[in-house]
Amino acid sequence: MAAIEHNAEIPAQPSRRKTLGTPHLLFFVVAAAAPVGFVLSAVPLAIGRGGIGTVGAFIVTAVVLLLFAVGFVAMAQRVQRVGGLYEFVVEGIGRVPGVGAAYVAVATYALAAIGATGAFAVFADIASQDLLGFEVPWIVWALGVAALMGVFGILRIEANAKILGAIIVVEIAMLLVVACVIVWQGGAEGPSIAPWQPKEVFGGHSGAMFAVTFAAFAGFEATAIYSNEVKNKRSIARATYLVIVALAALYSFVTWALITAYGNIGAVSAAATDPTTMFFTATQTYVGTWAVKVFEVLIVASWFASILAFHNATARYLATMGSNGMAPKWLNTTRQKSGTPWKASVSHTALTFVVIAAFAFFNGDPYLDLYILGSTPAIIGIPLLELLAGIAIICYFYRRTPSRTRTVVLVTSGLAAACLAAVIAAIIANIELFTARTGAANVIVSALMFLLFLGGMAWALLRRDHTTPHSADPRSSPDQHNQESS
């Protein structure tokens, strides 16, 4: 033990500090979803392409994810190891597909964080020009937020949660203020229940609509990644259910208010004509210029919160993969003071710098190229990861002794897996909605996560004796092994 006390770095599972509770997990997941950024940019796309049924689509999406959450929570209680959903795949299906799922997971979160730096740079530049009167090259903003991400990434995880929590509280408060004012004033034609009607939700363009609404919940499954850092394992279950219900209620209400501001027909027309200004125009009309100015700042903060949340998830995936032989072992190094996987964090930060510099060197657009092309694969990666986990949960519980829990999990996970498969198909069919491109770019973006999954499995087969996800002894956790070896 003396050696450990004098070393600044120790090879261990990422962060054994039991400091996180349910609110902290909520902050990380909601931050990843970037509520303000999503409402201002993605919700108008869903309305313009799918219709006013987007309001009800959020509720349907939440129901599907709650079905998935039943098995997710049950599995999390039995597989209490760092690694998130890919550990579920290892336990339910096997080591080889588990390795494939691990590469999908780490690529999904890493790309989501890197891509979001482009969106941050664009909105930060807009805010600085409008509020401060000066313009800064986008690469300065992008590299700046990447550096800030790296700094926060090696700090204590509870410090990150406090920063994210403050941003999220203000984000949600402002969204609710605008929505309530619009509804109170009656909008263009008065509040309508039509957006909740089944014919609107499941109409002819529902595929595009659901492709967007499922993206709204991106990262909710990340609660399991922090299983080694929570004070109480029940926090994962509470946070999972709460975040799905809370996001569904928030997005559905705010979207309904936005449609109310324009009227049912007017909202679709406005969203199809100029989706980027739809929310700002409604805010200006019903609340005032001051609220628009606040949102110009909030959308920048929202993207930073999203970047930081995805970065923290990426670092923990990399560290766990290092401990399991799926990545270099040195990634699985934590610093005693903060308990964070700092080498994994620094590695992702360095990769982010390289990608940003490459896009700038080739004159790429920060939004259309860095953000869109960088983060769109994650929109497929997250439901694909959930689908794999759903299948693994079914396999895992099918082998268990018949019980009421087993029956409930099998039914709910089966329904969720079928819906998730349909969602992935809908996203791929409407991929141009996210990429704003046609042709080969869409094929590459659509295929990337599937290729990573197959590549990970192939790599696991070639290195059968070297990749060792913790499936040998389901009763023990990696953290326990490290403490014993220490």
Tokens 């499941």 belong to residue: 202
pLDDT of residue 224: 67
Domain coverage including residue 478: 2-485
Q: Which positions ≥6 away from 317 have C-beta within 8 Å?
A: 83, 84, 86, 102, 105, 106, 109, 225
When computed from its CA atoms, the radius of gyration of the chain, rounded to whole angstroms, is 22
Report pLDDT for 470: 52
Distance of CA 158 to the CA centre of its chain: 19
> The pTM is what?
0.85
Split into its structural domains, the chain has a count of 1
- CB of 33 within 8 A of CB of 218? yes
Domain CATH number, residue 216: 1.20.1740.10
Given this model, what pLDDT does residue 462 score? 87
For residues 259 and 58, what is the distance between their CA atoms, to the nearest angstrom? 14
Residue 229's pLDDT is what? 66
pLDDT digits (tens), the chain, 486 positions: 333 333 333 334 444 456 666 777 777 778 777 889 889 888 998 898 889 999 999 999 999 999 999 998 888 888 766 667 888 999 999 999 999 999 999 999 999 999 999 999 999 999 999 898 888 999 999 999 999 999 988 887 767 777 878 888 899 999 999 999 999 999 998 888 999 999 999 876 788 888 889 888 877 776 666 666 666 667 777 888 888 999 999 999 999 999 999 999 999 999 988 888 899 999 999 999 999 999 999 999 999 988 988 998 899 889 888 888 888 899 988 877 767 888 999 999 999 999 999 999 999 999 889 998 888 898 899 899 999 999 999 999 999 888 888 999 999 999 999 999 999 999 999 898 888 888 898 999 999 999 999 999 999 998 775 555 554 333 333 333 333 333
Query: b/e map of 441-469 (b: 16 or more CB within 10 Å)?
Result: bbeebbebbbebbeebbebbeeeeeebeb
Residue among 194, 171, 203 at smallest CA distance from 256: 194
- At residue 84, the pLDDT reads 74
